[in-house]
């Protein structure tokens, strides 16, 4: 990418981030004036359901990224060369990606998307705007391409699906965390153009067209990973169906008792 374009991309990223933080502050002010506790629309409740949703999200994110690596490996596009175990680096990376994932979900989905829904009154339009901005802000990342920006934007839609469907941040946070953690510290890929300074558990080589594998940007910039974003979206829908079916409130206790009573 030319230096002029890179400077413009970084400038847009700075302006974009400042605009988003300003927008989020306005949303918090509006909630306060309306006497709305921000924890309610954000679903920031620490309970048993939080742990379940986070674990399910972590499983979805991990499966999607492992699926990407498996397909690339099966096609001969990704070869594992070495394996090294470093508990210190893994724990450090896990905590870093967990914190980053949570705050990105809080800002982009919890506050920014909620504010956009309030502004445009149409969820689909709000999700589209948020995703476009989310993807565009990654355009300044090293080795970014048009395809990688589209992939990140699609990822923003997947996280929005998790947030709007659950009305809580935990499912999306789990997906976001596992997606990046498995991608970088575990498999050793670049994460959105960034390379782990100490590598990953696995070290491998990536071959093939960048539009398929993502090249130096990481698998997120390739078509295979984009396909698994769709898989992640489908798994979220499956989880919503299962969690709704297993929800005890669908079968109130008093109704079951009444149904079991003999007539007369």
What's the CA gap between 95 and 15, in Å, rounded? Answer: 28
Residue at 178 is within a domain: yes
Domain count, the chain: 1
pTM above 0.85? yes
Residue at 18 is within a domain: yes
> Which H or E element spans position 154?
helix 146-166
Residue at 255 is within a domain: no
Residue at 226 is within a domain: yes
Residues 36, 39, 42, 47, CA torsion sign: negative
Residue at 263 is within a domain: no
Counting DSSP H helices and E strands in the chain, the numbers are 11, 2
**Structural domain boundaries enclosing 35:** 3-248
H-state helical runs in 34-122: 39-42, 48-74, 87-104, 114-120
Tokens of 72: 């690339």
Residue at 98 is within a domain: yes
Q: What is the pLDDT along the chain (264 residues), one digit of tens a residue?
A: 445 555 666 777 788 788 888 889 989 998 999 998 988 888 888 888 899 999 999 999 999 999 999 999 999 999 887 777 665 678 888 999 999 999 999 999 999 999 898 888 899 999 999 999 999 899 888 899 999 999 999 999 999 999 999 999 999 999 999 999 999 999 989 999 887 766 678 888 889 899 999 999 999 999 999 999 999 999 999 999 998 766 655 544 433 333 344 444
Residue at 262 is within a domain: no
């Amino acid at each position: 990418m030319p230096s002029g374009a890179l400077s413009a991309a970084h400038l847009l990223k700075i302006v974009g981030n400042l605009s988003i933080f300003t927008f989020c502050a306005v949303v918090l002010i509006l909630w306060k004036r309306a006497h709305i506790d921000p924890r309610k629309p954000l679903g920031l409740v620490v309970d048993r359901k939080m742990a379940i949703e986070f674990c399910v999200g972590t499983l979805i994110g991990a499966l999607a990224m492992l699926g990407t690596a498996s397909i690339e490996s099966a096609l001969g596009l990704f070869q594992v060369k070495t394996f090294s175990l470093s508990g210190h680096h893994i724990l450090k990376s896990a905590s870093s990606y967990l914190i980053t994932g949570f705050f990105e979900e809080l800002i982009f989905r919890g506050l920014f998307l909620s504010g956009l829904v309030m502004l445009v009154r149409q969820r689909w339009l709000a999700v589209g705007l948020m995703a476009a901005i989310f993807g565009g802000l990654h355009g300044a990342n090293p080795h970014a391409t048009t395809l990688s920006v589209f992939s990140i934007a699609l990822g923003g839609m997947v996280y929005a699906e998790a947030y709007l469907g659950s009305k809580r941040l935990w499912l999306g946070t789990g997906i976001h965390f596992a997606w990046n953690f498995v991608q970088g510290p575990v498999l050793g890929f670049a994460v959105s153009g960034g390379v782990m300074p100490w590598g990953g558990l696995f070290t491998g080589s990536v071959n093939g067209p960048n539009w398929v594998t993502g090249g130096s940007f990481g698998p997120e910039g390739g078509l295979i990973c984009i396909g698994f974003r769709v898989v992640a979206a489908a798994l979220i829908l499956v989880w919503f169906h299962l969690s709704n079916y297993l929800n005890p409130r669908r079968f109130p206790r008093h109704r079951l008792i009444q149904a079991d009573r003999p007539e007369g």
